[in-house]
Every structure is written in structure tokens, then in C-alpha cells.
Amino acid sequence: MGDKMNYPNGIKKKQEEKIITYKNRGMTLENDLNITNQYYIDNDIAYIYKKPTPIKVVKAEYNNKGYRVIKEAYYSEPSTTDYNGIYKGSYIDYEAKETKNKTYFPISNIHKHQILHLRHVEKEKGICFLIIRFTTLDRTFLLKASSFLDYLDTNKKSTLPLKFIEENGYLIKNKLLKRVDYLEIVDKIWRLS
């Protein structure tokens, strides 16, 4: 993993601080996060990775080449978030979601077991948050899990208004190499040294 991307010296530093001002050109949040996380690994900043998608296998058999082929399986509801890892010695964990809505994020996008997962991580004092991208607005926010859980516990609503996210979350700048440089915000909020 660590040796897949190589940036020539010199170019790296100059590009690093450049903020992308043009519209997100069809890049998905997942893709942007993969690039960002690879940048964090390559530059020894953090080790954060995506978990496999949970799949329930019903039928599997060996084919004539001796490989095990899954013939029937279903996507199962995720019981954890998509991403986790280590940053400055701390456990870090987040879920990343996109929405085309312009004024709110539908809470149903975060599954019940994922909410329980967030509560567990909060309880054990991990660094835990959501990354929410409003694709049509081209704005990506970091919202602390604690803020999200507080909202859930005090509002019995099915949507999280953009206004709430603007007031309680943090806008993540789009950069060239660190596409979604969320660790810059983690540093500010959790005051990691």
C-alpha cells in the first residue's frame, strides 16, 4: 500500500496547500477518501482504511478450477462504520455519506447498528465522526459523532438539517492531494498534539 503512490520531491510540498476551487468533477466521496487516506499513509500521517462491505453468503461451491465461488449472497446491513484506523496513537472511526439533497441529510442513511457502533466508540473515547458531502452544493462537512448522537437523542426527526450541520459541524476544504483533509479538523477539535 505504502509504495503505490510516489510523488516527486518538491512538487509534493507546493501542491499540498493548494485548495481546489473548481467544482468536484464527478469524483465520489469514497474515491476522494481513498486518495486522502493513501496520502496519509504515504506521508506517515495516519493509518486509516476502509472495512470490507458486509455480505451474507448463502450458497458457495467449488468450480472446476478449484476456486470457491459464491453463488448466492446478500448485502447485509452494516454493523459498523466504513472507515477506521489510528491517528497519533488514537483510535479513529468514521462513516462517510453523500447526499443529493440541498437542505438536509436523511438520517435513514445511517443504519441502526451503525448508530450503536458510534455510541460504543464514543463510550470508549475514540475519535468518532461523520463525513457528509452535499454533492449538489459541493460541500463536505465533518460532524462529531457526539453532536450527531445529541441531535438524535433530542430530536425525533428523520432528517438532519444542513443548518444544524453548518452550525455544529466543520467544513472540510477540498485540496488537490489531500482531497478531503479531515485530519486538519480532527487536530483542531480533539486538540491532538
Nearer to its own copies, 117 or 179 (CB): 117
Min dist. Cβ of residue 80 to its own copies (A): 6
- Report how far apart, in Å, the C-alpha atoms of 135 and of each of 1, 116, 155 are: 29, 27, 25
Nearer to its own copies, 20 or 58 (CB): 58
Min dist. Cβ of residue 119 to its own copies (A): 9
Residues that bind its own copies (CB under 8 A): 1-2, 41, 44, 46-47, 49, 51-55, 57, 67-75, 79-80, 84-87, 89-92, 113, 116-117, 120-121, 123-126
Three-class SS state of 134: strand
Min dist. Cβ of residue 60 to its own copies (A): 8
Nearer to its own copies, 41 or 96 (CB): 41
How are beta strands 127-134 and 139-144 bridged, if at all? antiparallel
Give the three cell numbers for residue 10.
518538491
Min dist. Cβ of residue 157 to its own copies (A): 25
User: Residue 161, exposed/middle/buried by CB under 10 A (0-12, 13-18, 19+)?
Assistant: middle
Place of cell 496520502: 39
Alpha-carbon gap, residue 157 to 34, rounded angstroms: 32
Nearer to its own copies, 120 or 163 (CB): 120
